[in-house]
A and B are shown apart, each in its own frame.
Chain A
Amino acid sequence: MTAQADVGRQARQHARWHWSEVAFWILALSCAFLFPSRYLIMTDIVRLALFALSLDLILGYAGIVSLGHAAFFGVGAYSAGLLALHGIVTEPVMALVVAGLVATAVGFLTSFLVIRGADLTRLMVTLGIALLLEALAERFSNVTGGTDGLQGIEMQPILGLFAFDMFGKVGFFYCLAVLFLLFLLARRIVHSPFGLSLRAIRNNPLRAAAIGIPVNRRLIAIYTLAACYAGIAGALFTQTTALASLDVFSFERSADLMLVLVIGGTGYLYGGLIGAVVFRMLQEVFSTITPQYWQFWIGLVLVVIVLVGRARMHRWALWAPNLIIRQLGGRKAIVAVPESDAP
Chain B
Amino acid sequence: MTTLFTILFDGVAYGMLLFVLACGLAVTLGLMNFVNLAHGAFAMAGGYVCAVLVNRSGWPFFASLPLAFVASAGIGAVLERALYRHLYNRSHLDQVLFSVGLVFMSVAAVDYIMGSSRIFIKLPAALEGQVDFFGIGIGRYRLMIIVICGLLTAALQLVLARTRFGSRLRAAVDDPRAAIGLGINVPQVFAFTFAFGCGLAGLGGALSAEILGLDPYFPLKFMIYFLIVVTVGGSSSITGPFLASLLLGIGDVAGKYYVPKLGPFVIYTIMIVILIWRPNGLFGRTAAR
Residues of A that sit less than 8 Å from B by CB:
59, 65, 67, 113, 116-121, 123-125, 127-129, 131-132, 135-136, 138-139, 251-252, 255, 258-259, 262, 292-296, 298-303, 305-307, 310, 341-343
Contact = CB atoms under 8 A, between A and B. Distances in A.
Contacts of A65: 92-93, 96
B103 interface: yes
Given A118-B279, A128-B268, A310 B94 contact: yes
Given A120-B231, A128-B268, A300-B105, A306 B92 contact: no
A293 B83 contact: no
Nearest to B30: A120
B276 interface: yes
Contacts of A306: 87, 90, 94, 97-98, 101
B107 interface: yes
B45 to A, nearest CB: 15
Contact of A135 (B92, B106, B263): B263
Contact of A258 (B91, B100, B262, B275): B100
A251 B223 CA distance: 10
A300 B101 contact: yes
A259 B99 CA distance: 12
B262 to A, nearest CB: 7
9 contacts: A116-B276, A120-B92, A293-B112, A299-B101, A302-B104, A303-B83, A303-B105, A306-B90, A342-B90
B102 interface: yes
Contact of B105 (A123, A131, A296): A296
Contact of A128 (B29, B111, B262, B275): B275
Contacts of A343: 91
B101 A302 contact: yes
A53 B276 CA distance: 28
A69 B181 CA distance: 43
Given A298-B104, A299-B105, A303-B102, A123 B92 contact: yes
A128 B272 contact: yes
A252 B220 CA distance: 9
Nearest to B266: A135
A262 B101 CA distance: 12
Nearest to B86: A307
Given A292-B111, A299-B108, A139 B263 contact: yes
A310 B98 CA distance: 12
A135 B261 CA distance: 10
Nearest to B87: A306
**Counting chain A CB atoms within 10 Å of each CB, which of B104, B109, B268, B275 scores highest?**
B104
Given A67-B96, A119-B92, A342-B91, A303 B101 contact: yes
A132 B35 CA distance: 21
B224 interface: yes
Contacts of A135: 263-265, 268
B247 to A, nearest CB: 16
Contacts of B279: 116-118, 121
A259 B97 contact: yes
Contacts of B103: 299
B2 interface: no
A124 B275 contact: yes
A201 to B, nearest CB: 16
